[in-house]
Chain A
Amino acid sequence: MAVDEKESLAPAKPSLWRDPNARAIVFQVIVLAAVTLFIVFIIKNTLHNMESRGISTGFDFLGNESGFGILQSLIEYNESSTYGRTFFVGLLNTLLVSALGIFFATILGFAIGIARLSRNWLVAKLAMVYIEIFRNIPLLLQIFFWYFAVLRALPGPRQSLNVGDAVFLNNRGLYLPRPVFEDGFGLVLWVLGVAIIATMVMTRWAKRRREASGKVFHTFYASLALLIGLPLLAFLISGAPMSWDVAALKGFNFRGGLGVIPELAALLFALSIYTAAFIAEIVRAGIQGVTHGQTEAARALGLRPTPILHLIIIPQAMRIIIPPLTSQYLNLIKNSSLATAIGYPDLVAVFAGTTLNQTGQAVEVIAMTMAVYLSLSLLTSMFMNWFNARMALVER
C-alpha cells in the first residue's frame, strides 16, 4: 500500500511518444531531413538544367575578358578588362553612391527632423509636408522623376545652366571645379594632422580640469580655430599651393573639372531625399522620446538651454535614434541597387545585369551579388552596434 502511494506521487514517466524532449528531437530530424532533401533536389535540377543548356559552372569566367565599357569607374577599367574587374568597378560604384547617400540623407534628415519640432508653426508644418510627400511615393518613381523628367530634360552643354562660370549643369551631368594640389600642399596636410592631435589633447585636458576644479573651458571654438585656422595659415604661408581645374566647353562637351554623371546625380538626389524623410521621423521620435521631466530636472539644476541640449537631451535621444537609423542606412545601401533602372553602373547593373547576360552563369553571379549585400549589411550593423554600445549610457 505504502509503496503504491509513493509510486503514484512520483511524476509519471511519460511514454516515449509523449516525451517533449524525444518529440523535439524527432521533429528536428524531420525538419532537417526535409530541408536537406529540398536543397539536394534543387541542386540536382540546377546541375542537370545547366548541363543540358550548355552553361558552364564555376568561377573561371571571372578571368575572362568582359568586352564592354562602363560609364563611370573609380579604378582603371576598359573593354579588355576581366569580369572580375567589372565586379570591383560595380562594387566601388555601389559603395560610392551609398556613402554619399548616407552622408546627405543624414544631414537632410536631421535638419528636417529638428524642423518638425520647431516652435515656428510654418517651419514645422513644411517639414511635415516634406515627410508625408516623400516617404509615400515609391523610390523608383522618384529616381525616374529626377532622371528622366529633370536631369534629362535639362538643356544641352552649349546652353548649360551655370553658377559663376564654375559650376555647370546640363543634360550630360553636373560639372564642378576640381581642386588641383601642387607641390607644398603636403605641408597643409601635416599641419592639419598636428591640429587634430592638438585638439584631442586639449579636449582631454579640458575634461580633466573640469573634473578636478569644476572650471569649464569651452573647447568648441578653440578646436574650430585649431582645425580650420592652423591649416589655413599654413596654406597661406606656403603660397596657396592649390588651384581649381574648372570645366570648360570644348567642342560639344565639357572637358576637365569634376564631372558627375546625371545617373549618379539622380540616384543621389532620390536616395537622399527619400531616406531623409524616414530619418527625420526617427529623429523626431528620438527627441520626443526623452521625457519632459529630464528637461525640467536639468532646468531645476540651473543648466542653461544649450548645455541642456548637449548634456541631457542629445545623449538620451541618440540612444533611441541609433538602432532605427542603422536600419535606414541598410535600406539605403540596398535601395542603391535600383541604380540599374536608370543605368548607373552599380554592382547589380554591371554584374547581375550585363555580366549575367553575357556569361549566362546566373547562379554564380547572383550568389556573388547577394553575398556582397549580405556582408555590407552585416558590416554596417556591426559598426552601428559598436557605435551604439559606445553611445549607450552605462546604467547602474
Chain B
Amino acid sequence: MAEQISGQHQPHPDLSPPVTTVGVLGWLRQNLFSSPVNSLFTLAMIYLLYISIPPIIKWAFIDADWAGSTREACDSGGACWVFVKVRFSQFMYGFYPEDQTWRVNMAFLLLIVLSIPLFIKSFPKKAWLGAFILCIYPIIAFYLFYGDAFGLERIETTQWGGLMLTLILAGVGIVAALPIGIVLALGRRSNMPIVKSICIGFIEFWRGVPLITVLFMSSVMLPLFLPEGVTIDKLLRALIGIVLFQSAYMAEVVRGGLQAIPKGQYEAADALGLSYWKSMTLIILPQALKLVIPGIVNTFIALFKDTTLVLIIGLFDLLGMIQAAFADPKWLGYAIEGYVFAALVFWIFCYSMSHYSQRLERKLHTGHKRN
C-alpha cells in the first residue's frame, strides 16, 4: 500500500534475452545453425575436418620421427623429419662449402638489421637507408657470396643453391627490374609515338609469354646472341631472363601508380616550369611509387614463387635441392616430407609478405581517394 501512496511507479525489470540468442549458444545458432541448409553445411564441414585433421596431426607430430641421423631412425610409420634434418644445410645453402656458410648468414643478417629501421615509424632519413639497401648493399652481398676479394675464398655460382639461391634470384630480380620498369612505364605514358610503341611492344611481349620459355631462351639463345668468345655464367643468364620478364610486370604496376596521380599534379609541375625529368623525379614518381608499394610487394611474392622454375634449366634452388635429395638412394620414399618442408618455407615467406602488403595498402589508402 505504501508504495502506491508514494506514487512511485516501479518499472518491471527487463527480462533477460532468450538464452538461444546470446553467448556461445547464440553465436552458434547465428553463425553455424541459422537454417536447416546451413546446419547441414556445418555438419558436413565438421565431418570433413574430422576425417582429415586427426590423421594429419598423427602423421606429422604424434607418429613422427625427429631424432637420429639415418634412415633406420624412421620406423614408426609417421613423418620422417630426420630426412629434412639431415639435409637441412643443403636445403638452405645448396653446395656452398660448409665452413663458408657464415658468409651467407652474415649477408642475410646484415639485410635484416638494415631493414628493421624501415619498419620503425619515427626513424629519420629512411630514404637514405632505403637507397643504401638498394644500391650499396647488393655490392657487399655479392662479395660476401662470391668472394675472390678481401681475402675471401672464391665460391663459384654453381655451388650456390637452396633457399639462399631462391632469395638471391627473387631479390636481384625485383631490385634490378624496378628501375627498368619505371623507365618502361614512363615510356608507355610518353607522348612520343616511337618511344611509346617500343615500350608497349616490349611490355606486352614479356607479359604474353610464360617465364619458362623466357628461361629456356636465356639459357639456350643468350649464348648465341653474344660475340664469339664471350661466355656468360649460367646463374647470370637466368637472372637476365628473370629481370627482363619481371621488368615488364613492374612497368605495369608503376603505370598503375602513375595513372592514379591526378592530372592537376602534372599540370602544377608544368606550371612551375619544371622540366620533364624534374617534374617526374620531384613531383610524380615520389607520389606514384608510394602508391604502388603494395603492388611491388605482390609482384615480389609472384616472383618469389616463380623462382622455383629455375630448376628446369638446371639451377638448384630450394625446390631443386629437395627434388635432388629424393634421388639419393639412401633416402628414397620421403617425397611428402620434403615437399611439406618446402611448402612450409614458401608459405611462411609468401603469407607474411602478403599480410604485410595488405596492411600497407590500408595504411597508404589515404590520399587521391575520391569521396
Binding site for B on A (CB under 8 A): 24, 27-28, 31-32, 35, 42, 45-46, 48-50, 52, 118-123, 126, 132-133, 135-141, 144-145, 148-149, 153, 334-335, 337-338, 340-341, 348, 352, 356, 362-363, 366, 369-370, 373-374, 377-378
Whole-angstrom distance from the CB of A266 to the nearest CB of chain B? 13
Work out how many contacts link A and B, with CB atoms closer than 8 A. 145
Interface residues of B in 133-169 (CB under 8 A from A): none
In the complex, what distance in Å separates the CA atom of A145 from the CA atom of B41?
29
* Residue B312, interface by CB 8 Å: yes
Chain A residues contacting B34 (CB-CB under 8 Å) are 119-120
Q: Mark B18-42, 1 if CB is under 8 A from A, else 0.
A: 0000000000000110100010011
- B228 & A49 in contact (Cβ 8 Å cutoff): yes
- A50 & B312 in contact (Cβ 8 Å cutoff): no
In the complex, what distance in Å separates the CA atom of A182 from the CA atom of B209?
44
The residue in chain A whose Cβ has the minimal distance to the Cβ of B194 is: A28
Q: List 10 A-B contacts (CB under 8 A).
A: A32-B198, A120-B41, A136-B301, A136-B351, A141-B308, A334-B209, A340-B312, A348-B213, A362-B220, A370-B217
Chain A residues contacting B41 (CB-CB under 8 Å) are 118, 120, 122-123
- B224 & A374 in contact (Cβ 8 Å cutoff): no
- B195 & A31 in contact (Cβ 8 Å cutoff): yes
* Residue B216, interface by CB 8 Å: yes
In the complex, what distance in Å separates the CA atom of A341 from the CA atom of B311?
9
Whole-angstrom distance from the CB of B245 to the nearest CB of chain A? 11
Q: Could you say which of B224, B228, B342, B346 has the most chain A C-beta atoms within 10 Å of its C-beta?
A: B224
The residue in chain B whose Cβ has the minimal distance to the Cβ of A142 is: B343
In the complex, what distance in Å separates the CA atom of A122 from the CA atom of B28?
10
* Residue B279, interface by CB 8 Å: no
- A50 & B224 in contact (Cβ 8 Å cutoff): yes
- B319 & A144 in contact (Cβ 8 Å cutoff): yes
In the complex, what distance in Å separates the CA atom of A140 from the CA atom of B217?
19
**In the complex with contacts A138-B319, A153-B335, A366-B38 CB distance below 8 A:** no
Interface of A is mostly: helix
**In the complex with contacts A121-B32, A139-B305, A377-B208 CB distance below 8 A:** yes
**In the complex with contacts A138-B319, A348-B213, A362-B221, A119-B31 CB distance below 8 A:** yes
- Contacts A24-B191, A121-B31, A121-B32 supplied; 15 other A-B pairs, CB < 8 Å: A32-B198, A42-B225, A119-B31, A119-B38, A120-B31, A120-B34, A122-B31, A122-B32, A141-B319, A149-B336, A334-B211, A340-B212, A362-B224, A370-B208, A373-B213
**In the complex with contacts A120-B38, A123-B41, A366-B221, A137-B350 CB distance below 8 A:** yes
- B191 & A46 in contact (Cβ 8 Å cutoff): no
In the complex, what distance in Å separates the CA atom of A120 from the CA atom of B224?
59
Chain B residues contacting A48 (CB-CB under 8 Å) are 228
In the complex, what distance in Å separates the CA atom of A159 from the CA atom of B350?
39
Whole-angstrom distance from the CB of B206 to the nearest CB of chain A? 10
* Residue B339, interface by CB 8 Å: yes
Interface residues of B in 331-371 (CB under 8 A from A): 335-336, 339, 342-343, 346-347, 350-351, 354
Whole-angstrom distance from the CB of A67 to the nearest CB of chain B? 20
Chain A residues contacting B191 (CB-CB under 8 Å) are 24
Chain B residues contacting A136 (CB-CB under 8 Å) are 301, 305, 346-347, 350-351, 354
Whole-angstrom distance from the CB of B36 to the nearest CB of chain A? 12
Chain A residues contacting B224 (CB-CB under 8 Å) are 45-46, 49-50, 362-363
In the complex, what distance in Å separates the CA atom of A348 from the CA atom of B217?
12
Whole-angstrom distance from the CB of A250 to the nearest CB of chain B? 29
